[in-house]
């Protein structure tokens, strides 16, 4: 099975990279862009475990390595198949 993990900055945390991208998009003529927030995306392939175990392990992976939980939120989805 595969999992997709999304990590984003928490609301209220400044995102200078997102701000720079938003300004660049405005400079390129995309005037309708109000805000840009930058995040991380991981695709992880898991073997030898069931969905419940995958859920538990993914949560642990996020809390221990993939996300800085003080300033970032995470969510993931498990894709069977």
CATH (domain of 74): 3.30.1280.10
The answer to whether residue 81 scores a pLDDT higher than 80 is: no
Residues of the domain holding 50: 2-79
In this predicted structure, what is the pLDDT of residue 80? 80
Backbone dihedral angles phi then psi of residue 42, each to the nearest 5 degrees: -125, 140
The number of beta carbons lying within 10 Å of the beta carbon of residue 65 is 8
Into how many domains does the chain fold? 1
Nearby residues of 64 by Cβ (< 8 Å), 6 or more positions away: none
Contacts of 33 (CB under 8 A, 6+ apart): 22, 25, 26
pLDDT of residue 7: 98
- Is 74 a residue whose pLDDT tops 80? yes
Instruction: Give me the residues paired with residue 44 across strands.
Output: 3
Chain segment 23-68, per-residue pLDDT in tens: 999 999 999 999 999 999 999 999 999 999 999 999 999 999 999 9
């Amino acid at each position: 099975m595969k999992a997709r993990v999304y990590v984003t900055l928490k609301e209220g945390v400044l995102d200078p990279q997102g701000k720079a991208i938003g300004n660049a998009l405005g400079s390129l003529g995309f005037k309708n862009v109000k805000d840009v927030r930058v995040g991380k995306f991981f695709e992880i392939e898991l073997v030898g475990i069931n969905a419940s175990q995958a859920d538990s392990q993914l949560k642990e992976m996020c809390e221990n390595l993939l996300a800085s939980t003080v300033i970032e939120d995470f969510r993931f989805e498990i894709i069977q198949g």
